[in-house]
Amino acid sequence: MLDLPKRRAKTLALLALAAAFIFAGVNHFLNPDFFVAIMPPYLPLHLELVLLSGVFEILGGVAVLVPGVRSLAGWGLILLLLAVFPANLHMALNPELFPDVSSSALYLRLPLQIVFIAWAYWATRPEDVADAQR
């Protein structure tokens, strides 16, 4: 069992993870044009993929709050982060298509994906697994 400060930190990380993904998912429906614009041209069905990723972000954000499916939801969010990485890479490699965003910000988004993956992994990892490895 985690000690109280670590448990609180993990709970806060989990709640923030859920809120971030739910917010991002809802934003796919409120502002789909932005997300369609960052889709790499080689992918088909841009709007459909944007809406589908929004659904999975919302579902993942809600599911990480359910203890029985938390770990599976965490892995789902990790897979989702990997799936959307091409859009972030497309933005970084084509900064002229995104004049409102600095090119340095476009490149900073790439390593942030690793941070989000680590966050999803840590926040949704079962406590007994973490304790068993000590």
Is the confidence at residue 132, as pLDDT, over 70?
A: no
With a cut of 90, say whether residue 129 has pLDDT above it: no
Residue 131 is predicted with a pLDDT of 44
Contact 70, 118 (CB under 8 A): no
pLDDT greater than 60 at residue 59: yes
Amino acid at 67: P
Q: How far is CA 89 from the centre of its chain?
A: 15
Token pair for 60: 């993942």
Structure tokens at 125: 């990892």
The pLDDT confidence band at residue 66, using thresholds 50, 70 and 90, is: very high
Show me where the domains of the chain are located. Answer: 4-125
Predicted model pTM = 0.88
pLDDT value for 2: 63
Joined together, the tokens standing for residue 18 give: 């859920």
User: Which pLDDT does position 1 carry in this prediction?
Assistant: 55
pLDDT score recorded for residue 133: 45
Q: Which amino acid is at 11?
A: T
What is the pLDDT of the chain when averaged over all its residues? 91
Residue type, 27: N
